[in-house]
Chains A and B, each alone.
Chain A
């Protein structure tokens, strides 16, 4: 059983839809991350939250909007996406945002934009 849970596992949405990805961690961590995984490309860090404050926005388009209401939950709100946004979106968490702290990942949400 994973300590980082993502829902939904699969999502198909049209380019004009609004949807959200949800992440919940049960590890007592206080830093959370969104990564994008596309075929044949390295994982790309999108956002970092530490103690519920966004500390990193890695030049992500505004059609992706993160939200961290508390240290256990992280959302990624999606609107007017493009087909090239189709990918696996991985949520992760760590105890502290200090370098070297082990990052634990969820199983990902497969997003298909049609």
Chain B
């Protein structure tokens, strides 16, 4: 069975600082995609960043970057220069090849960016 673990239910960071959210996952598959989604108070899930498992290079999107460690099955999200608008619930998720497009989600990390 596929599982995703986010061990930090809540985190806080000062504005302009850097924060890292952790995620580990478990699968016996070799080909898969990993995602970080953000859910602000509006409740809409918004894609932050995605990573193909066969790519060794870590994905980056502006202030967001990941540290993908395939052997360790770890996929952490780093947010640089944190902004108040980054306050949200962050979900780690993945989908395996041959499994259709069915995302497996973690339980989320509530991030609060403070002044």
Q: What's the dominant secondary structure at chain A's contact region? A: loop
Residue of B nearest to A92 (CB): B45
Question: How far is the CB of B51 from the nearest CB of chain A, in Å?
Answer: 10
Near A by CB (< 8 A), chain B positions 60-115 give 91, 93, 95-108
Q: Is A34 an interface residue (CB 8 A)?
A: no
Q: Is A85 an interface residue (CB 8 A)?
A: no
**Which of A45, A97, A99, A108 interacts with B98 by CB under 8 Å?**
A99
A100/B101 in contact, CB under 8 A: yes
Asked if A56 meets B105 with Cβ closer than 8 Å, knowing A102-B47, A105-B45, A108-B44, the reply is: no
Residue of A nearest to B107 (CB): A42
**Proximity bits, A89-114, B CB within 8 Å = 1, else 0:** 01010101111111111111000000
B102/A48 in contact, CB under 8 A: yes
Alpha-carbon separation in the docked complex, A107 to B42 (Å)? 7
Q: Is A43 an interface residue (CB 8 A)?
A: yes
Residue of A nearest to B6 (CB): A42
Alpha-carbon separation in the docked complex, A92 to B44 (Å)? 10
Residues of A with C-beta under 8 A to B103: 43, 45, 103
Residues of B with C-beta under 8 A to A56: 100, 102
**Given A48-B102, A88-B43, A102-B50, 7 more contacts at CB 8 Å?**
A42-B108, A99-B95, A99-B96, A100-B97, A102-B47, A105-B46, A108-B44
Q: Which residues of B does A touch, CB under 8 Å?
A: 4, 32-33, 37, 42-47, 50, 52, 91, 93, 95-108
A–B complex contacts, Cβ < 8 Å, 6 sampled? A2-B44, A41-B107, A96-B101, A99-B99, A105-B45, A105-B46
Q: Which residues of A does B touch, CB under 8 Å?
A: 2, 31, 40-43, 45, 48, 55-56, 88, 90, 92, 94, 96-108
